[in-house]
Chains A and B, each alone.
Chain A
Amino acid sequence: MLRKIALLATGTVGGVVAVVAYHPPTLHPVNAVGVALVATTSTGTTAATTTTTGKTGTTGKTGSAGTPATNGKTGTTTTTPAPATGGKSGVFAGNTANTQWGPVQVQITVTNGKITQVSALQYPNGDQRSKSIAQQSIPYLIKQTLATQTANVAGVSGASYTSDGWRRSLASAILKAGI
């Protein structure tokens, strides 16, 4: 009996260690610096945006009141810096990616071939739970996007559909930007 328990325990620990070593979890610090979530008022639509330069150029413009399911639109007023090094620059909105809980649309600002700013134009917010998931997860998705500079973001567990939609929309935005 003792022998069996020892074997079970060894197998369990071995299994966990093997998988985690192969694919370590992507834990992000909770109090991530530079992550801002711009939440707006009564309509329940929100827009999240952040920037690596610390220079924020967003004005959260909400959808019309009474239509909480519509998308938070963010007017980005970033002034495009001079293309000093010749890289691509501009603002690119990805395609809308539909998910189980609603559409996800990502917009990126590219400066000299680098993603400098990311925002969510649309995300699932049809119900209270989707809203709170989005509010928690989008700052991380933004941070991951700025860090990886690709559509290959790790995603946020518990916000799997949003993460998946994020990847798809972001991929199309990156494609449009041609970076």
Chain B
Amino acid sequence: MKKRFVADQATLFTGIGMGFTIAIQVISLSATDFAGVYPVITTVSRFCALVGSYLAIIGVLMIARIPWIEQAVGHDRLVTWHRKSAPYSLYFISLHVLLVVIGYAGSDQNVIGRTLWTMIRTYPWMLPATVGFLLLVLAGVSSYREFRARMTYETWWVLHLYTYLAIALSFMHQILTGAMFITNKLARYYWIALYLFVAFAILIWRVLIPLIRSIRHQLRVEKIVHEGPGIISIYIKGQNILKLNAVGGNFFSWRFITKNDWYQSHPYSLSAPPTNSHLRITVKGLGDHSKALENMKPGARVFIEGPYGIFTSKNAQVGRHVVLIGGGVGITPLRAIMEEFPNNTQIDVLFRASNDADLVLREELDFLAEKMSARVHYLVGSRKVHPMTQAYIEQLVPQFRDSEIYICGPEPLVSAVREAAIDAGIPKDRFHDEAFAFHGD
């Protein structure tokens, strides 16, 4: 339960930070803040600014790859929270901009346009803050589903990077014009410390560590093996790879330095447990990027971010029966996990595929099954033939309800198995899935 403890602690700290953030406004309030409609609007706008900025900071921290938090919460859940909370930060900051202009214009009995212009022109760092706000809107809006669907991953990614710039550009106007920061030294120190912490977290965990690891381990493409129709395994050679502490079920973000694709980075799970000299991923070539990988020349440099993910054998209760359920190319992380359970663990592998050609890594699975006395059930055919309900799974694996469940595959399969697990009364902490483990495109 250490994981849960860390997650709870992180949540509590996030709450306390929010409390501090609201408090620095509360302690700097004075009667003038409530003397009339427009001062109240200005006061509310300051509140929106603080809460919105704090949410933005937390949103960035959630995806800063801070190791303890990644381990405790899981990368996919952090990304989900990041997605859910980020829009609110945009709402609050937009409200701040709107209300502060209305409040100031009202107090000065001036037209809104002129007040806005005066503010941008005369207030310290207000022009950069305005640019920052526009960038934030751009990054935020491009993440809405309707817009996101219309652009390539790379376009979205570059726009999303503007968020960092937006946060940096808006910082100085807060410190120099924010009532709570000018009047209160402690509030100022708190705010600066918060931003410095986030900047360091990004620099260390998203830039320096991945760079150092990639350089130190000298990762290069060794060979590319065709596993089936459009499915390839990429073998990556390197030095002292075990020092990465990666295990089966982990994924990395991979950047292959080739002429056309060096600027792209994509997440893929390991398809075999790492050895000291090799890593392997298995990719289905549906997307443009994974198709391009097929033609990659051996010797290409590889940069990694990771290992990430908590979809690992460590998170199972020792001694329990294990059921690994894979759909199509989703079997690959399970193949990597399979080898890492303690020797006497009883394992059932359920491999769903629509046809025989999609049964990738079959020979390896059969070999491991024999070695570990595990059972592999190949469930080939339509969903009607193999409905993944509780009843159906229990026919194959009678111990289903007492097992640790690992599932990786297309979303319909994951939902079906999740429902079966709930029906069987399997508690949440014995059901393991990770959105990032599956890259069926």
Contact = CB atoms under 8 A, between A and B. Distances in A.
Interface in B164-194: 176, 179-180, 182-184, 186
Contacts of B32: 136-137, 140, 156-159
Nearest to B184: A23
Given A12-B22, A158-B42, A164-B182, A7 B30 contact: no
Interface residues of B, number: 44
Contacts of B416: none
Contact of B16 (A12, A25, A32): A12
Given A15-B22, A20-B26, A163 B108 contact: no
B24 A157 contact: no
B30 A140 contact: yes
A11 B58 CA distance: 14
Interface of A: 3-4, 7-20, 23-30, 32, 100, 127-129, 132, 136-137, 140, 154-161, 163-164
Given A8-B14, A25-B30, A30-B34, A157 B19 contact: no
B120 interface: no
B16 A157 contact: no
A27 B30 contact: yes
A4 B4 CA distance: 11
B180 to A, nearest CB: 7
A140 B107 CA distance: 18
Interface of B: 7-8, 11-24, 26-35, 39, 42, 104, 107-110, 115, 118, 122, 124, 176, 179-180, 182-184, 186
A13 B39 CA distance: 25
B15 A15 contact: yes
B30 A156 contact: yes
A47 B395 CA distance: 90
B5 to A, nearest CB: 11
A9 B11 CA distance: 10
A16 to B, nearest CB: 4
Contacts, number: 130
A11 B118 contact: no
Overall SS of chain B's interface: helix
A127 B16 contact: no
Nearest to B18: A12
B34 to A, nearest CB: 7
Contacts of B33: 157-158
26 contacts: A4-B11, A7-B15, A8-B14, A11-B15, A11-B16, A12-B15, A12-B16, A13-B19, A14-B16, A15-B15, A16-B22, A23-B186, A25-B27, A25-B28, A27-B30, A32-B31, A100-B124, A129-B118, A154-B30, A155-B30, A157-B32, A157-B33, A158-B30, A160-B182, A160-B183, A161-B182
Given A157-B179, A158-B39, 5 more contacts: A25-B29, A27-B29, A30-B35, A128-B108, A129-B107
Contacts of A136: 32, 35, 39
Given A100-B124, A160-B182, A11 B27 contact: no
B183 A157 contact: yes
B31 A28 contact: yes
Contacts of B28: 25, 157
Nearest to B73: A4
Nearest to B107: A132
Contact of A19 (B20, B35, B115): B20
Contacts of B182: 160-161, 163-164
Contacts of A8: 11-12, 14-15, 18
B183 A163 contact: yes
Given A8-B11, A11-B12, A30 B27 contact: no
B15 A127 contact: no
B19 A16 contact: yes
Nearest to B122: A127
Contact of A7 (B11, B27, B39): B11
Contact of A20 (B14, B23, B115, B183): B23
Given A127-B118, A157-B180, A158-B32, A11 B22 contact: no
